[in-house]
């Protein structure tokens, strides 16, 4: 299941924040903020995308870089939320 989430997260980031796969290859652990992909307004877009794509609800208290600031962290977060609320997935 994690592999499937990872594919989806990567394509979501590539389509909506990186916009390209060719030039700037983004590693799974790279900070989205440091890479210039997410600014102070972009993070809320990312949250909205994730909620819609994975049918999850993201609590305000979870809005932390440790949950969302790399593909790897997002995948882990989504997997965790889904595991604790399986009915939503």
Partner 1 sequence: MCGIAGFYGTPDTPVPRALILRRMIGAIAHRGPDAQGVFDDDRAALGHVRLSIIDLATGAQPMPNGDRTIWVTFNGEIFNYVELRQDLVSRGHSFRSASDTEVILHLYEEMGPDCVDVLNGDFAFALWDSRQDLLLLARDRMGVRPLFYAARNGCLFFASEVKALLQVPGICAELDPIALDQIFTFWFPLAPRTSFRDVFELPPAHVLIARPDRIAVRRYWCLRYPDAGDDCALNGQGEEAIGQELGALLADATRIRLRSDVPVGAYLSGGLDSSIIAALAHKIAPARLQTFSMTFGSAEFDESGYQQEMVRALEATHVSFACGDTDIGRVFPTVIRHGEQPILRTAPAPLLALSDVVHRSGFKVVLTGEGADEIFAGYDIFKEAKIRRFWARQPQSRSRPRLFKLLYPYLPGLQAQSQKYLEAFFGHGLADTSDPLYSHLPRFRNTSAAKIFFSDALLESIRGYDAVAELRESLPAEFDRWHPLSQAQYLETAHLLPGYILSSQGDRVAMAHAVECRFPFLDHRVVEFAARIPPELKIRGLREKHILRESARTLVPSTISHRAKQPYRSPDSLSFLGANQPDYVDDCLSTSELAANGWFDSRAVGKLVRKCRAQAPAGFRDNMAFVGILSTQLWQREFVRGARSLVPPVSPALVA
- By CB under 8 A, name the binding residues for partner 1: 15-16, 18-20, 23-24, 33-34, 36-37, 39-45, 48, 60-61, 63-66, 69
Report the residue number, 42 or 76, with the smaller CB distance to partner 1: 42
**Least CB distance to partner 1 at residue 2 (A):** 25
Report the residue number, 1 or 20, with the smaller CB distance to partner 1: 20
**Least CB distance to partner 1 at residue 4 (A):** 22
**Least CB distance to partner 1 at residue 63 (A):** 4
Burial tier of 35 (Cβ tally within 10 Å: 0-12, 13-18, 19+) = middle
The two structure tokens encoding residue 68? 């969302």
Instruction: Output 45-49 pairs: Cβ under 8 A, ≥24 positions apart.
Output: 45/16, 46/17, 49/12, 49/16
């Amino acid at each position: 299941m994690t592999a499937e989430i990872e594919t989806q997260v990567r394509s979501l980031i590539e389509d909506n924040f990186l916009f390209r796969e060719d030039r700037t290859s983004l590693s799974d652990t790279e900070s989205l903020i440091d890479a210039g992909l997410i600014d102070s307004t972009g993070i809320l877009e990312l949250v909205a995308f994730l909620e819609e794509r994975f049918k999850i609800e993201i609590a305000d208290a979870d809005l932390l870089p440790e949950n969302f600031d790399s593909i790897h962290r997002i995948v882990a977060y989504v997997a965790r939320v889904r595991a604790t609320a399986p009915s939503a997935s």
